[in-house]
Structure 1
Amino acid sequence: MRKTTYQRAAREAIREALLLDERVFVMGEDVSSSTGLLGEFGPDRIRDTPPSASSFVAAGIGSAVGGMRPIVEVSAADAGLPTLDQILTNAATLRHMSGGQLTVPLVIRMVSGRNWLAHDIGGWYAHVPGLRVVAPATLEDARGMLWTALEDPDPVLLVEHSSLHDTRGELPEDTRPTDIERAIVRRAGSDVTLVGYGATLPVTLIAAEELGQRGVAADVVDLRCLLPLDEHTILESVGRTRRLVVVDEGRRGGGLSAEIAAGVAERAFYTLEAPIERVYAKRTDTGTRLPAPAEVVEAALRSVG
């Protein structure tokens, strides 16, 4: 075990990918500075681009179709919204439109939460069929998700919330590629299911700790993959606890919490012993505020009665 940060773990993942596969290269605005890998790998594999996200995402799509394994970095996801056209109408559809003849093994790293708007970018892109959208919330996932994503034949959007970048912890020396298909239970409990992802996972774990001190055992599910959703793991947990609280980075309308709540209501309605609770981001005078642990605790206590 060694101490590191989330941001360093993500950088190590990029370096390992570059070492393992000569087809891998990194492209984006000022990536030579953000990765610190230009000196080791040179400008052919660490490619700084002009500040035009739609252009370099399009170049990444073309190189992926041509057999390369690009990692395209969009350092501020809100500013990268012009890339939606390239991602939605090209990257996500080429396999279908070509009858399976073309694949787009592209990884796009997006950092959300860097400005006052703080939109839930992962939740937005989770509406796009043909993509895989993942949200690493732990050091292990920041280190292990990238290689798995690069092996996927379809485009993968890897969304990192900026509030996680300075997270410190211990990371095993032999961190392995991370599963990007299934959610994982981060804390076992039998009284209430708490579902979180990305920046809401630490909030949810803090809430679970406080609930434990009050005699309520929370089962904490980390979604990890937002598209497609691992409904099986969520339903398994709800089957044990019979209660559900969803903690969402996005706002109330049209977000992931709504999709998860609707899915559980459709498939496990008669299992539930209390209404489904949702805790979501709030709009304030200074922007958008992520859910607080106290709000999650309050919702869970309402659920257990």
Structure 2
Amino acid sequence: MTTPVLLLRLHAVVALVVFLFFGYKLLLLLMERREPLRHLRARTRWADSLLLGMLVLSGVLAWVAFPEPFNGWNLFPALLLCLLLLFFVRALRQERAGRASWYLLGALTLYGLAGARALSIPWPRQPNTLRQALLGEAPDAAALATATTPSPAPAGQAETTATPEAAAPVDTAAASVHLSAQDSATLVAAGPGATAEPVETPDLVAGKVLFAQNCAVCHGTNGKLGLNGARDLTKSNLNETGRIYQVTHGSISKKMPAFQGKLTDEQIAQVVAYSLTLR
């Protein structure tokens, strides 16, 4: 289980504990059991602050792990939720049952609506990563398969799941000539009847296969998909050396995983060479 998934589930557990704890106190107040409520409040004064702090902290961590639109949160409802809970605690200490009920009901409704929005992402071409993380569902293979088609797709989004493991290495032992993507483009431009398409060298063919197996799920087969925060490769200003480093070690933001150990140096060079032909 990945760290983002653990953080998200931790936040869900903390939220459940917070609402159950406050709900029990409100129930005592509504039942006019003020004496037991006062004893409980006296023994758990620290718990109110601790639980609210844990709710905010776990919420921030979950938001960082699942940025918009995966978690359905933005700044306004988050602040409003915190204010409602703080007002609830104040009303509870003043033993105002009516106000406390409305504040807690408002906070619960707001949290429920935000959670429902997060679980019902309206983009059909994207696997609902948040729903899979919360409910423990297997990845949506159909959505991933659709996402790898070259048809237009939604704008880029933050990565939440690692790219699938590399498949068996492609046999390129028969390759007798190793040309970089720039060399291929130069040969095409210099030859008779030149076109914009690069020469299909064995390395480019192997790179295309590896790209489809390991990269197309986020970048798309044409390099323009931009799923899970992937950049549009047709507009990237990274040269061959920079792309090799990026594929080998992953991105600094961890949105792109490292393929060192998953692909050989030769395979990484082949993938990069093919990516440079995407225009």
Question: TM class by shorter-chain length?
Answer: under 0.3
What TM-score, normalized to structure 1?
0.23
* Rg comparison, structure with higher value: 2
Higher-helix-fraction structure: 2
Question: So what's the TM-score if we normalise by structure 2?
Answer: 0.24
Larger strand proportion, structure 1 or 2? Answer: 1
